[in-house]
Amino acid sequence: MKLLTTTNRYHLALVTALFVLGTAALYYGLQRALAHEVDEQLGLHRTFLAERVQRTQALPPILTPNEFSISPAPRAEGYGDTLLLDPAEGTQVPFRQVTFRVQVQGRPYWLTVRKSLIETADVLQVVLTVMLPVMALLFVSLVLLNRWLSRWLWAPFQHTLAALRRYQLQQPQTLALPPTRIDEFSELNQAVTQLTERVAADYRALQEFTENAAHETQTPLAIMQAQLEQLMQLPELPAAAARPVQELYRGTLRLSRLHQALTLLSKIENRQFTDARPVRLDELLADKLEQLQDFAEAKQLQPELVVAAPLTVAMHPALADSLVSNLLQNAIKHNRHGGSLRVSLTAEALEIANTGPALSGDPMQLLGRFRKHNAASDSPGLGLSIAQQICAHYGYQLHYAYRAAQQLHILRVQF
């Protein structure tokens, strides 16, 4: 929910509560003031009538029977409320009355003076007529004020937000945010600026570290490999030494391959491959299948390549190469003898289906690092994890499915 909507809700609730309270207070206050005034007038009237009766020793004439009545029978004295029929309006109307006793020629009479009260409904109407527009005006002005505030006062915040949205780790530069008069926003901008400075510095450090680590490790590996190859050229190399040298050599190769794979993974994660070019996926698939032909033939596989239409994707050529070869190698490596391998390419997806024994455990774990089907295998088990990382880099989805009936593993890259 928007901040503005939320504050408006609270404002509306407050205004409504205040309106109800204010209306009630005004209503009762008005009514009390009016009643007081009527009582005062009735008191004056009583004094006047009592004096007149005393002076003239005669009962005054009754002009309006609703407002003045005389009774020879005793009545309760003092102030009181009553309802009488108003002949003009034809409804019961509230009256305030005062009853008092007078002596006329020695006989007692009870005189009652009344005064019509203004109807409750009328008072309420007056009050609402005044209060409702006031409330509406108050609320509308609050909404307008908030809108104005959000547009002008919150502008620096929106600006910061937009800048953060555009921020990209691959081109880490410090965000230059314009100064603002509001303390909270300038604190926010300061914090964001410091954060991006730190992020940019860390990113550069990480990138340099990866590059240096790769360089510093590959160089000694290159020396080891070259020296071992030189050693193997020696005609006088004793036969007993050949095997250890061979093992050393293979170990060096494995280490360097592992290192290259890990470096590639971290480079993809650091988003260091920003240079995308158009790559013909169908041609790449055909090339790679041809390159892997020996491996497929050894397992008596007949790879099937079905291309719905030539497809060009924008990728870094090396990453496209790595994605396709890792997926194809995986499909051949884990295939069974005389099994099937079907590669289909459409505009939406690349699907590679291969036969193979069912997996034990969670299939999505396959994409994790160092997951091997066969623990004794020479390869470090990073292939699918590299494929997964490449897909994530380009926003593709890599799905895995297993059809138990045909023993078919399906890896699908959704573009």
Give me the least distance between CB of 256 and other proteins, in Å please. 5
Give 141 or 291: the residue with its C-beta nearer to other proteins.
291
Give 50 or 253: the residue with its C-beta nearer to other proteins.
253
d(CA 408, CA 304): 14
Give 225 or 344: the residue with its C-beta nearer to other proteins.
225
CA dihedral (284, 285, 287, 290) in degrees, to 10, reads: 170
Give me the least distance between CB of 196 and other proteins, in Å please. 24
Give me the least distance between CB of 168 and other proteins, in Å please. 17
d(CA 116, CA 127): 20
CA 338, 341, 343 angle in degrees (round to 5)? 165
124: left (phi over 0), alpha (psi -120 to 50) or beta: alpha
Give 78 or 244: the residue with its C-beta nearer to other proteins.
244
Give me the least distance between CB of 195 and other proteins, in Å please. 28
Give 24 or 241: the residue with its C-beta nearer to other proteins.
241
3-state secondary structure 359-399: CCCCHHHHHCCCCCCCCCCCCCCCHHHHHHHHHHHHCCEEE
d(CA 88, CA 141): 44
d(CA 102, CA 204): 108
Q: Half-sphere exposure (CA, 13 Å, Cβ side) for 346? A: 5
Q: Which residues contact 410 (CB under 8 A, 6 or more apart)?
A: 351, 352, 353, 399, 400, 401, 402, 403
Q: Which residues bind other proteins (CB under 8 A)?
A: 211, 214-215, 218-219, 221-227, 229-230, 232-233, 239, 242-243, 245-246, 249-250, 252-254, 256-257, 260, 263, 267, 272-273, 275, 291-292, 294-295, 298, 316-318, 322, 325, 329, 332-333, 377-379
Give 119 or 211: the residue with its C-beta nearer to other proteins.
211
Give 127 or 384: the residue with its C-beta nearer to other proteins.
384
d(CA 294, CA 297): 5
Give me the least distance between CB of 312 and other proteins, in Å please. 19
Output b/e per residue, 360-381; b: 16+ Cβ within 10 A. Answer: eeeeeebbeeebeeeeeeeebb
| Residue of 394, 169, 398 whose CA lies nearest to 276 | 394
Give 193 or 218: the residue with its C-beta nearer to other proteins.
218
Q: Are 380 and 373 in contact (CB under 8 A)?
A: no
* Side chain identity at residue 271, one-letter code: R
Give me the least distance between CB of 354 and other proteins, in Å please. 14
Give me the least distance between CB of 382 and other proteins, in Å please. 11
Give me the least distance between CB of 385 and other proteins, in Å please. 15
Give 103 or 377: the residue with its C-beta nearer to other proteins.
377
Give me the least distance between CB of 278 and other proteins, in Å please. 14
Give 36 or 254: the residue with its C-beta nearer to other proteins.
254
d(CA 95, CA 81): 6
Beta pairing partners, 166 = none
Give me the least distance between CB of 386 and other proteins, in Å please. 11
| Residue of 221, 256, 390, 258 whose CA lies nearest to 313 | 390
Q: How far apart are the first and last CA of the chain?
A: 34
Q: Which residues contact 58 (CB under 8 A, 6 or more apart)?
A: 104
Residue indicated by tokens 């005609």: 235
Give 111 or 366: the residue with its C-beta nearer to other proteins.
366
